[in-house]
């Protein structure tokens, strides 16, 4: 009896511990199942999001800023809200029925892509009655090369402006082989590369253009050359002038080229100018210092700086927004409800292109001047910095577990295959090809401008990603008086910079 009592207690305790262990095990299983369920729910919710991102990119080209919709009572911010609500609904549907949600998402994206790109597949005839002489900057690749190719196909003479003579020649050979057109239709002025970051090359190129064309008047001027300025201000990536490289090349350089052509009387009396801008200009702004003194204070990117890493990826053109109370955003955007925010050098440079087109018309240098959003395009501008190891090493918050040399040894084959796969299968969902973008640019060259509205009265003739002229419902100006002042002021500062370079011996650098 004495021995039985401890054994009973032991058995009782053993059973109690077993039940407690079973309860703990059940609790752990339930916790694990709940965590797995939440993880699965999150994954299913996120399944449509890549397609949603692609839809948004394409919607910028031909839905959010579509004049017919905007003028019918659906302003850009309402369309953006509707798009966001639709895709949130699809993500919620994907939690319970992922296959149905993905099918609907793919159908929506495919329909929009066909509508946006399919509507501009055929480029318009630039001059149906007689060939003209055209000049295209940035003609060695991307949109510029396709614009040059289409103009040559239509029988026009195209002066190709390129920073690299070798790449320009290669592009010319490729176009001639592709189209089987006479070589005389594509002209590269000898010994005159056009580096827009060096103002002296603009003057030399204008002079060489006159010699190469026999002084023929240029009737179409396509100012297309551009790039994504990955850094400015404190990052040290500025033009040789000391100014921020994006604004200097895309505005100062093109303005110097136009001035050079006009001084040599190479712009015809009915000349048309098209500036390839971007809807990123809706995020662009200029600091108030531009209006005072010599304009110093932001021209080197002190306020509206570029980015060492512009946005979440090395190829993204916009910085993370930063509060900048002195910055004036001249065009309303559904994503920027108030002024005083800086989105970096790329947005400012593209806004300056709109002002350049306006000012050329205002000063009587051309008979017609427009700016255009060519769409979100898969070109070299999106792939300016493709040295992945160096880019990763430049990330301030990160430290690499391996050396640059090890990255360079490890990544070439894997990186090349990954890049090729992305460009072949993923990027076409988000971006259009350069040939379609070229058709949009040529529509801006010959299409009717918007007949009414304050923007048209001020000389701001802007075309969306489908080659449609937009009115006030799609292009609302924040401060018309300041836009007028800044437009003229920026032109004057560019004139002053060009004249100062000439006084120093014409170095232009």
pLDDT digits (tens, 9 = 90+) for 37-85: 778 788 889 999 989 988 998 998 888 999 999 999 999 999 999 999 9
Task: Estimate the share of the chain in helix, then strand, then coil, as percent rounded to the nearest 5.
Answer: 55, 10, 35
Helix axes 49-62, 98-118, angle to 10 degrees: 20
Distance, in Å, from the CA atom of 170 to the CA atom of 148, rounded to the nearest integer, reads: 13
**Higher local confidence (pLDDT), 327 or 9:** 327
Pair 452, 458: CB distance under 8 Å: no
pLDDT one-digit tens code per residue, 281-319: 988 888 888 888 778 888 887 777 656 555 555 455 667
Note the pLDDT of residue 389.
Answer: 41
Check residue 409 and give its pLDDT. Answer: 55
pLDDT of the residue at 238:
58
CA 140/CA 143 separation, integer angstroms: 9
Does residue 233 have a pLDDT over 70?
no
Residue 320 has pLDDT above 90, yes or no: no
> Distance between CA 43 and CA 52 in Å, rounded?
15
Supply φ then ψ for residue 420, to 5 degrees: -60, -40
3-class secondary structure, 415: helix
Q: How far is CA 132 from CA 46, 135, 194, 217, in A?
A: 52, 10, 21, 8
Mention every residue, 6+ apart, whose C-beta is less than 8 A from residue 273.
221, 222, 223, 258, 357, 360, 361, 365, 366, 368, 369, 370
Using pLDDT thresholds of 50, 70 and 90, give the confidence band for residue 385: very low
Retrieve residue 447's tokens. Answer: 């299409």
Q: Choose the weakest-confidence range: 73-87, 364-378, 380-394.
A: 380-394
Q: What pLDDT is attached to residue 509?
A: 47
Cβ of 476: how many Cβ atoms within 10 Å? 17
Residue 424 φ/ψ, nearest 5 degrees: -80, -40
Q: Name the strand (E) or helix (H) holding 187.
A: strand 186-187
- What pLDDT, on the 0 to 100 scale, is given for residue 324? 76
Helix (H, G, I), strand (E, B) or coil at 431: coil
Q: What is the pLDDT of residue 170?
A: 94
For 418-470, write each residue's pLDDT tens digit. Answer: 666 766 777 777 888 899 999 999 999 998 988 888 888 889 999 999 999 99
Q: Is the pLDDT of residue 401 over 50?
A: no
State pLDDT tens for residues 342-357.
Answer: 778 888 999 999 999 9
The predicted model gives 98-112 an average pLDDT of 93
With CA atoms as reference, report the closest residue to 274 among 383, 168, 144.
Answer: 144
* CB-based contacts of 328, cutoff 8 Å, min separation 6: 285, 286, 287, 288, 339, 478, 479, 482, 486
Reference 156, options 175, 188, 182, 137; nearest CA is: 182
Tell me the average pLDDT across 251-255.
Answer: 95
Least confident range of 210-224, 232-246, 345-359? 232-246
Statement: residue 24 has pLDDT above 80: no
Given this model, what pLDDT does residue 400 score? 41
Give the CA distances from residue 353 to residues 46, 215, 282, 441, in Å, rounded to whole numbers and listed in that order: 38, 27, 12, 14
Q: If you average pLDDT over residues 111-121, what whole number do you get?
A: 83
pLDDT of 339 reads 64
Q: How many CA atoms lie within 13 A of 450 on its CB side?
A: 29
* CA–CA dist 45, 250 (Å, integer): 42
Write down the pTM of the prediction.
0.84
Q: How far apart are the first and last CA of the chain?
A: 108
Q: Residue 91 pLDDT > 60, yes or no?
A: yes
Q: Taking a C-beta distance cutoff of 8 angstroms, is the pair 280, 318 a contact?
A: yes
The predicted-structure confidence for 407-418, as pLDDT tens digits, reads as follows: 445 555 555 666
**Contacts (Cβ under 8 Å, ≥6 apart) of 229:** 237, 244, 245, 246, 306, 310, 344, 345, 346, 349
Report the pLDDT value the prediction gives residue 398, as an integer from 0 to 100: 38
Q: What is the pLDDT of residues 152-211, one digit of tens each?
A: 999 999 999 999 999 999 999 999 999 988 988 999 998 878 999 888 899 999 999 999
Beta strands at 218-223 and 186-187: parallel, antiparallel or unpaired: unpaired
Half-sphere exposure of 217 (CA within 13 A, CB side): 10
pLDDT for the residue 124: 87
Mean per-residue pLDDT over the chain, rounded? 82
- Per-residue confidence band for 265, with pLDDT thresholds at 50, 70 and 90: very high
DSSP for 314-347 reads: TT-SSPPPEE-TTEEE-B-BTTB-SS-EE--HHH
Q: Find where tokens 């040529």 sit.
A: 442
In the chain, the percentage of residues whose pLDDT exceeds 90 is 45
Sorted by sequence, the CB contacts under 8 Å of residue 82 that are 6+ apart come out as 74
pLDDT of residue 462: 95
């Amino acid at each position: 009896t004495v021995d039985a009592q401890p054994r009973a207690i032991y058995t009782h305790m053993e059973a109690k511990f077993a039940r407690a262990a079973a309860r703990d095990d059940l609790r752990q299983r339930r916790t694990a199942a709940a965590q797995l369920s939440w993880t699965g729910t999150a994954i299913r919710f996120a399944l449509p999001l890549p397609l949603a991102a692609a839809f948004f990119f394409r919607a910028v080209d031909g839905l959010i800023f579509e004049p017919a919709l905007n003028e019918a009572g659906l302003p850009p911010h309402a369309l953006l809200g509707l798009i966001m609500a639709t895709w949130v609904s699809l993500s919620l549907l994907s939690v319970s029925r992922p296959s149905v949600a993905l099918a609907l998402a793919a159908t929506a994206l495919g329909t929009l892509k066909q509508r946006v790109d399919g509507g501009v597949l055929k480029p318009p005839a630039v001059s149906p009655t007689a060939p003209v002489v055209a000049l295209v900057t940035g003609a060695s690749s991307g949109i510029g090369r396709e614009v040059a190719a289409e103009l040559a196909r239509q029988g026009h003479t195209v002066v190709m402006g390129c920073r690299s003579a070798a790449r320009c020649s290669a592009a010319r050979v490729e176009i001639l082989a592709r189209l089987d057109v006479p070589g005389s239709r594509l002209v590269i002025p000898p010994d005159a590369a056009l580096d827009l970051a060096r103002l002296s090359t603009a003057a030399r190129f204008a002079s060489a253009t006159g010699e190469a064309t026999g002084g023929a008047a240029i009737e179409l001027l396509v100012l297309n050359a551009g790039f994504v300025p990955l850094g400015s201000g404190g990052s040290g990536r500025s033009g040789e002038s000391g100014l921020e490289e994006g604004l200097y090349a895309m505005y100062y350089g093109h303005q110097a080229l136009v001035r050079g052509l006009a001084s040599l009387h190479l712009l015809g009396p009915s000349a048309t100018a098209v500036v390839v801008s971007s809807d990123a200009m809706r995020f662009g702004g200029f600091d108030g210092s531009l209006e005072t003194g010599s304009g110093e204070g932001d021209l080197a990117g002190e306020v509206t700086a570029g980015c060492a890493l512009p946005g979440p990826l090395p190829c993204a053109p916009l910085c993370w927004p930063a509060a900048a109370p002195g910055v004036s955003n001249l065009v309303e955007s559904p994503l920027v409800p108030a002024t005083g925010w800086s989105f970096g050098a790329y947005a400012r440079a593209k806004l300056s292109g709109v002002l350049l087109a306006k000012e050329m018309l205002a000063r009587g240098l051309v008979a017609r001047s427009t700016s255009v959003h060519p769409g979100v395009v898969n070109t070299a501008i999106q792939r300016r910095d493709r040295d992945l190891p160096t880019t990763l090493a430049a990330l301030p918050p990160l430290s690499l577990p391996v050396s640059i040399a090890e990255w360079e040894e490890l990544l070439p084959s894997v990186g090349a295959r990954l890049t090729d796969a992305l460009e072949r299968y993923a990027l076409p969902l988000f971006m259009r090809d350069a040939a379609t973008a070229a058709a949009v640019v040529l529509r801006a060259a010959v299409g009717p401008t918007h007949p009414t509205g304050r923007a048209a009265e001020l000389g701001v003739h802007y075309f969306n990603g489908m080659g449609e002229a937009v009115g006030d419902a799609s292009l609302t100006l924040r401060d018309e008086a300041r836009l007028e002042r800044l437009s003229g002021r920026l032109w004057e500062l560019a004139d002053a910079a060009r004249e100062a370079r000439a006084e120093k011996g014409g170095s232009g650098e």
